[in-house]
Amino acid sequence: MPVKHLISITDLTSKDILQILKTALVLKKEIKKGKGNKLVLKNKTLVMIFEKPSLRTRVSFEIGMTQLGGHGIYLGPAEIGLGVRESIFDVSRVISSMADVIMARTFKHESVVELAKYSSVPVINGLSDLEHPCQILADLLTIFEIKKKFKGLNLCFIGDGENNVTHSLALASGMLGINFSVASPKGFVMRGEIVSKAQGFAKKNKAKIFETYDPPKAVANADVVYTDTWISMGDEAEKKQRLKIFKNYQITTKLMSLAKKNAIFMHDMPAYRGNEVEAAVIDSPQSVIIQQAENRMHAQKALILYLLNIHY
């Protein structure tokens, strides 16, 4: 049986996504009831490669492995020097000869692709410059818990369109029949190849992918309003310029009022109140950011079981 990887959200089918979410709900329910999960990952090890630091990614993967009876190993930038001190080819073969799963959080998408190419065990994209599929699984779990469906929902993203979260959200929305709208400044729109692929999925599932420069147009009648930081890791040198360019793309209470009354606000965090979102929005009852963050753990546990062909 070929090794399954998650490099792009499109490595999963819509059926796969729904199965992973179903398992995640079972795992979460067990934890919330205080039962604990079955230790189905006993003697299994996840090696986590971090070129970029992250609170949620490390905590969710490491605790998730522990809850299922497995073990997580953290490898920071200085411990490997991925592609610099040691080639990705060698890193992949060495780690996969000992570990059961590899998670990599990298600057370049090509690094995760190359790790998967030479790995004999599943490789998970924990974040790259192109996609963030693990975040989107958590987002979908959160949306489903609250809205109870996907088809026909209106999800909008306001901010940097050329963003890993935006890209994976667009693709997943098209796959699941969610109408996806993006409002971004000129020069910061989604990559063309992502838009084409997302529109292809959307057409099959009777949904729409809509791009605009106008935030009110994107937010109108939205069920879910989503934003992300304007300055991602690696963009710090452009901070002053970006703050100026994105100033009209802040999620305010006024902008939220254009969405449906029961709309939820989402942010993958870290969040910067006063930049991409007003404190009054992110700290309001409409905000589900903590539920969203916690769901990283439950969704990723279900993902690991899927990749290892372990039925729960």
The single residue listed with the structure tokens 């996969």 is 96
Which residue did the predictor score with more confidence, 10 or 78?
Answer: 10
pLDDT in tens, 144-203: 999 999 999 999 999 999 999 999 999 999 999 999 999 999 999 999 999 999 999 999
Q: Give the integer Cα–Cα distance in Å for 250 and 93.
A: 44
Q: Which residues contact 70 (CB under 8 A, 6 or more apart)?
A: 41, 42, 43, 44, 45, 46, 100
How high is the pLDDT of residue 84? Answer: 75
E strands along 27-186, which residues? 45-50, 71-75, 101-105, 123-127, 154-158, 179-183
Q: Which residues contact 58 (CB under 8 A, 6 or more apart)?
A: 48, 50, 74
How high is the pLDDT of residue 96? Answer: 97
Q: Give the integer Cα–Cα distance in Å for 299 and 137.
A: 6
Closest CA to 189 of 136, 249, 149: 249
Main-chain phi, psi angles of 106, to 5 degrees: -125, 165
pLDDT in tens, 285-311: 999 999 999 999 999 999 999 999 999
Two tokens, residue 287:
């905000």
Please report, as a single letter, which amino acid is at residue 124.
I
Q: Are 284 and 265 in contact (CB under 8 A)?
A: yes
Give the torsion through C-alpha atoms of 311, 71, 24, 150, to 10 deg.
-110
215 preceded by a cis bond (ω within 30 of 0): no
Decide: helix, strand or coil at residue 47: strand
How high is the pLDDT of residue 236? Answer: 72
E strands along 18-172, which residues? 45-50, 71-75, 101-105, 123-127, 154-158
Q: Give the integer Cα–Cα distance in Å for 169 and 190.
A: 11
CB atoms within 10 A of CB 107: 16
pLDDT in tens, 210-262: 999 999 999 999 999 999 999 876 667 788 899 999 999 999 999 999 999 99
Q: Is a pLDDT exceeding 90 seen at residue 23?
A: yes
Evaluated on CA atoms 271, 275, 279, 283, the torsion sign reads negative
How high is the pLDDT of residue 81? Answer: 75
How high is the pLDDT of residue 232? Answer: 73
How high is the pLDDT of residue 117? Answer: 97
Q: Domain 9-132+296-307 is in which class?
A: alpha beta
- β-sheet bridge partners, residue 6: 124
Closest CA to 138 of 44, 269, 3, 281: 269
Domain 135-292 superfamily per CATH? Aspartate/ornithine carbamoyltransferase (3.40.50.1370)
Q: Give the integer Cα–Cα distance in Å for 169 and 146.
A: 17
Q: Is a pLDDT exceeding 80 seen at residue 83?
A: no
Write out the H or E segment, with its range, that includes residue 12. Answer: none
pLDDT in tens, 34-69: 999 999 999 999 999 999 889 999 999 999 999 999
> Per-domain residue ranges for the chain?
9-132+296-307, 135-292
Q: Give the integer Cα–Cα distance in Å for 303 and 65.
A: 11
How high is the pLDDT of residue 237? Answer: 75
CB atoms within 10 A of CB 4: 17
How high is the pLDDT of residue 233? Answer: 64
Please report, as a single letter, which amino acid is at residue 4.
K
pLDDT in tens, 85-132: 789 999 999 999 999 999 999 999 999 999 999 999 999 999 999 999
Q: Do domains 9-132+296-307 and 135-292 have the same CATH topology?
A: yes
